[in-house]
Amino acid sequence: MENFHRKPNTFVGQVNINVTDLDTALAFYQDVIGFQVLEQTDRKAVLTTDGKTGLLTLEQPIDVTPKEARTSGLYHFALLLPTRADLSIFLQHLLQTGYRFGASDHHVSEALYITDPDGNGIEVYRDRPSSEWTWSNGEVSMVTDPLNGESLLAESNSEWNGLPADTVMGHIHLHVSDLQKAEEFYVKGLGFTVVSHYPQAVFIATGRYHHHIAINTWQGAGAPAPKKNSVGLNWYTLVFPNEEARGKAIEQLQEIGASVTTENDFFVTEDPSGNKIRLVV
């Protein structure tokens, strides 16, 4: 795996989502996706792939409500596997479980798409080597073509044993209410660079990755934020390379009028559509 998810880049570290039933969600995320439980209480579970680092947290609020349509929030979070063979093994596993999924070839990556029992979107993917990506005028070429499943399945015949230990949170894709305002927030505030455009969507990154964050208005321009305790995104973390880089981002956010507060010892901000972000080092 290349170095797009470590210093000196800024990248997504963890994602925290609401679910309607923790036991049901845990069964899915362990048996279908392949996470391990790192910590668990009655209404919360932190999931890991390496036994040390939390990648995904599931929460069941007392007054949880089902996922709301036509709102801002999570489109999907994306788990990046180390190799094509790992994605091959995962595809074989999905076929054996019979769980429904979609698949695409984006040229920069090959991806499988799944929805959890509550409607939270998940992408599981592998990157092609960055030397094979095509850049033009500062933008990387990404498409949505059919995945060559036969070629992928031929990559490995190993047994599935859950997510590989060095799986990372590759990116997050968000519904927003105003694309221009969201782009300004992530670029002028958080210091990301636009690397690709798609109809009603913008892809942004650091370090010339194909995207660490994507934003879209596919739920409609002006889509409202979901209720606080509805199924979907609670927050995600952005991992900065050092205190100086985080401090600069906080200053830039304040300059464009975005609020930065502290919450449980974390610096927290929200994009203009209400997607909450923890700024960590």
Each residue of 158-170: pLDDT tens digit?
A: 999 999 999 999 9
Query: Average pLDDT over the chain, rounded to whole?
Result: 97
pLDDT band per the 50, 70, 90 thresholds, residue 120: very high
Domain parsing of the chain, residue ranges: 11-279
The mean pLDDT value for 70-98 works out to 97
The mean pLDDT value for 243-250 works out to 97
The yes-or-no verdict on residue 194 having pLDDT over 80 is yes
Angstrom distances, CA of residue 101 to CA of 86, 90, 118, 123: 17, 12, 15, 10
Q: What is the pTM of this model?
A: 0.97
pLDDT at 156: 94
pLDDT band per the 50, 70, 90 thresholds, residue 261: very high
pLDDT band per the 50, 70, 90 thresholds, residue 204: very high
Distance CA 256, CA 243 (A): 20
pLDDT band per the 50, 70, 90 thresholds, residue 223: very high
Q: Domain 11-279: what homologous superfamily?
A: 2,3-Dihydroxybiphenyl 1,2-Dioxygenase, domain 1 (3.10.180.10)
Token representation of residue 130 = 């960055």
The mean pLDDT value for 100-115 works out to 98
Q: What percent of the chain has pLDDT over 90?
A: 98
Of 168, 189, 209, 170, nearest in space to 275 by CA? 189
pLDDT at 1: 77
Each residue of 26-45: pLDDT tens digit?
A: 999 999 999 999 999 999 99
Token representation of residue 203 = 């892809």
Residues in the chain: 281
pLDDT band per the 50, 70, 90 thresholds, residue 132: very high
Distance CA 256, CA 132 (A): 36
Q: Please classify residue 117 by burial: count the beta carbons closer than 10 Å to its beta carbon, then call 0-12 exposed, 13-18 middle and 19+ buried.
A: middle
Helix and strand counts by DSSP (H, E) for the chain:
5, 18
Angstrom distances, CA of residue 90 to CA of 104, 170, 171, 233, 242: 15, 16, 19, 25, 34
